[in-house]
Amino acid sequence: MPSRYSRRALLGTIALGAVSGCLSGWPNRAEDDETSEECDIRTGKWQGEADPLTTSAEMTETGDPERRCQRVAADAAFAELNRHLSADIENRPWAESVLVDDGEYRAVVRVTLVRNRDGSLQTRPESAFDVADARANLPSAVTVSLDVPGADEPHDCTHEIALHVEELMLD
């Protein structure tokens, strides 16, 4: 039977999102860094440090062009990071590009460690994954030029990119 996230873990994640939404930008928060036992991975939130990236895409479905821009930016940052890391993060259960909407559209690459009730790690990055390397190779921002059907000009947007390394507990 698959494990389920506990209500406490869910509320903790929501509270973390609410608190981080009160902060401006994606500061490098060294005071919140923690090293996860058994895994030697630092948890925290950091702005990407690599040069900004520019990409383009076409909007093929109806919807919010800004949301589509956000998705393209997050996916482009994730793909760029994967190209530069020695650890492969593509199709791994512990790494993903995510969208955060806390009043602003934000794009995040999230790495998650998941612990069982007994404290043992159930999901974690492979040993070749290095947070400092990920921070250094993650673009600081992605600018997207989005071709929108019926529009005279493309919809342009720029999203700052953050790396979130977090730890969750299963109940």
Q: Where are the domains of the chain?
A: 7-169
Alpha helix (H) ranges present in 33-161? 65-84, 131-137
**Residue 38's pLDDT band (cuts 50, 70, 90):** low
Least trusted range by pLDDT, from 17-21, 73-77, 133-137: 17-21
Asked whether the predicted pLDDT for residue 171 surpasses 80, the reply is no
Choice between 40 and 14, residue whose per-residue pLDDT is larger: 40
Nearest-angstrom CA–CA distance, 166 and 149: 38
CB half-sphere exposure, 139, CA atoms < 13 A: 23
* Structure-token match 């990055």, residue found: 125
Asked whether the predicted pLDDT for residue 19 surpasses 60, the reply is no
DSSP state of 139: B
Which pLDDT score, from 0 to 100, does residue 29 have? 37
Asked whether the predicted pLDDT for residue 2 surpasses 60, the reply is no
Which pLDDT score, from 0 to 100, does residue 62 have? 81
For residue 87, the one-letter residue type is: A
**Residue 167's pLDDT band (cuts 50, 70, 90):** very high
Task: Give the pLDDT mean for 136-151.
Answer: 95
